[in-house]
Chains A and B, each alone.
Chain A
C-alpha cells in the first residue's frame, strides 16, 4: 500500500492563494485528520490530494507515481474521494448507488460483471446496508446516506480514501460510527485522510494530524504531538484546554 506524499504544494483559486508551500505525508495504514478553521484551505488540500484540483506549484505522489502521470480512470480506481455533503440526485436504489463506485472499472455498456456484484454485496454487508439495499437513496436519513456514500467510496477497495467532513450534520452516534469506519479502513492498511471539525474525534481516532491556518501548514505530526493546547489555541484563535480523565482526553474551548 502506498503513502501520499505532498511537497511544496501551493494552490491559487480565482487569483487568490488558498494554500502555500504545504509539505505533508499521509502514511499508509494511517488515519490522518486535517483540521483548521473554516476557509483555512482544508477542502482545497483534500481536492488537490485527490488529484481533482491542479496545484500552482509543488508535487503530489501516490506511492512512487506523481498524480498527473496517472490516467483519469487509473487514479479513480486507486483513490476514492467524498466531498462535503455528498449525495445522490435521483431516487436510485442503495445497491445501485454503491455499485456506481465501481464505475472506473466498468466497460461502457452492459450490466455489472458477477465478480463486481460480489464486491457490492460484501460492501453492503460491511456497511450494514443489506436491509436498505432497495431503498431509494433520496429517502435515507443523514446517517444512512453517510454510510451509503462511504460504501460507494470503498466498494472498489481503493488504496487511498479522502473524505471531506465525514461527520457534518450527523448526531454523535452516527458521527462516531462514521469515523470508526474510516479507522477500520486505515487499520486494513489503506491511506485515509479526513477533514474534520470535531477535534475530539480527531484526538481520539486519528494517527496523524495536519493543522492548517490561512493556507499555511501550522503543524503536522502524530496526534498527541500536534493536538496540544497551545497549537489548538493558535489554530482556532480560541483559548483551549485539554482535559485528561478516566475516559481519555477531551478538548475544551474556553472563550
Chain B
C-alpha cells in the first residue's frame, strides 16, 4: 500500500484540479478548458480558465499542500497528534498583518497590501516565538506559540472592535473567514516562492523527524541537532503557512486532518507522512474550494475557511475520542 500511496494521491490531485477548472457558476466542457489552455484566445471560457480558475486552483494546491506538510512536520516534531500549524502563532500573525492593512485602508489603495502585511505579520509572530523559546525545548516552543497566538488574536479582535466603519469590519470578517475567491496571478506570484521555499525546508528534515520519534535525548545521541531541526521547521512553517494565510486568510484544520488521514497508510513513520500529507492537504483544499463554488444557499458563497471548519471540527472531535480510546 505505502508504495502506491503517492502516485495514487497525485492522480487524485490532478483529477480534482481538472474538476476545479470545469466547475463553478459557469460550467465548462472539458473541450473548452483544454482549448483555453492550449490556444489562448480572449473569449469567455479562455478568460475564465486562465485568469480566474487557474490561479485559484494553483493557490488551492499550494495552500493545501503547505498546510498539510506543515501539520505533518509539526506533529512529528512535537510528537503530538493534535499539533497544527496554527499552534505556532504564524497564521494568526499573518491574519493580524492583513487585518491591519484592511483597517488602515492600505488594501483599498493597493490590492497586494493585505498579503504583504500578512507575510510581515507571520514573520513577526514566528520571530517572537523564536525569541521566547530560544533556550527552551519543544514545550517552550508550544507555550510561546500559543501565548503569541492568543495575544495576536486579541489584537485582531480589537481591530474589529474599533473598526472605523462597518465596511472595514465586514471586510475584516470576510478575510478572517478564509477564501481564495477572486485571487489573481499576482497572489500566486507573491505566495508561491515562499510556499515552495518553506516546503523545501520542511521536506529536508524528514529523516530527523523519524529519529525524533525516539524522543529528544535519543535523537540527540543519534547525531540529530534537535535545536537546529526545530528552527528549520519554524522558519519553513513561517514562510509557507505565513504566505498561505497572507493570500487566503485563515484556513484551519487542513494541517491537522491531512497527516492523520495518511499516517496509518505509511506505517506511522514521520518522514513517510510528509509527501502524502502534502498531496492530501492539496486535494482537500481543492475539493473544498469546488464545494464552496457549487454548494450555494441563495446568498453569497460559503467561505473556504468556514467550510473547512465545518468539516474539520467534527473530525477533530472524532480524533480526540479516537486518541483517548487508544491511550486509555
**Which residues of A approach B to under 8 Å, CB–CB?**
50, 52, 72-73, 75-77, 79-83, 86-93, 96-97, 100-101, 103-104, 106, 108-109, 136, 152
Contacts and interface: CB of A to CB of B under 8 A. Distances in A.
Interface residues of B, number: 21
A82 B26 CA distance: 63
Contacts of B207: 103, 106, 108-109
Given A52-B221, A72-B225, A103-B211, 12 more contacts: A52-B220, A76-B221, A80-B221, A81-B217, A86-B218, A93-B267, A100-B210, A100-B213, A101-B222, A103-B207, A103-B210, A152-B214
Contact of A104 (B204, B214, B217, B222): B222
A84 B217 CA distance: 10
B296 to A, nearest CB: 42
B223 interface: yes
Contacts of B221: 50, 52, 76, 79-81, 83
Contacts of A81: 217-218, 221
A87 B215 contact: yes
B206 interface: yes
Given A103-B211, A109-B207, A83 B217 contact: yes
B224 interface: yes
Contacts of B189: none
B81 to A, nearest CB: 9
Contacts of B211: 100, 103
Contacts of B218: 81-83, 86
Interface string B99-115: 00000000000000000
A152 B217 CA distance: 14
Contacts of A80: 221
B269 A92 contact: yes
A71 to B, nearest CB: 8
B270 interface: yes
Given A81-B218, A103-B211, A90 B224 contact: no
B268 interface: yes
B79 interface: yes
Interface of B: 79, 204, 206-207, 210-211, 213-215, 217-218, 220-225, 267-270
Given A52-B217, A106-B207, A76 B222 contact: yes
Contacts of A103: 207, 210-211, 222-224
A36 B230 CA distance: 35
Nearest to A91: B268
Best-buried of A77, A88, A103 by chain B (most CB within 10 Å): A103
Contacts of A50: 221
A152 B213 CA distance: 13
Nearest to A86: B218
Contacts of B79: 89-90
B222 A136 contact: no
Contacts of B220: 52
A108 B200 CA distance: 13
Contacts of A77: 223
A106 B223 CA distance: 11
Best-buried of A77, A92, A93, A136 by chain B (most CB within 10 Å): A92
A73 B211 CA distance: 13
Contacts of B213: 88-90, 92, 97, 100
A245 B46 CA distance: 95
A108 B204 contact: yes
Given A89-B79, A106-B207, A100 B222 contact: yes
Given A52-B217, A81-B218, A104-B223, A90 B206 contact: no
A9 to B, nearest CB: 18
A80 B219 CA distance: 11
Contacts of A75: 223
A101 to B, nearest CB: 7
Given A100-B213, A108-B207, A136 B223 contact: no
Nearest to A134: B267
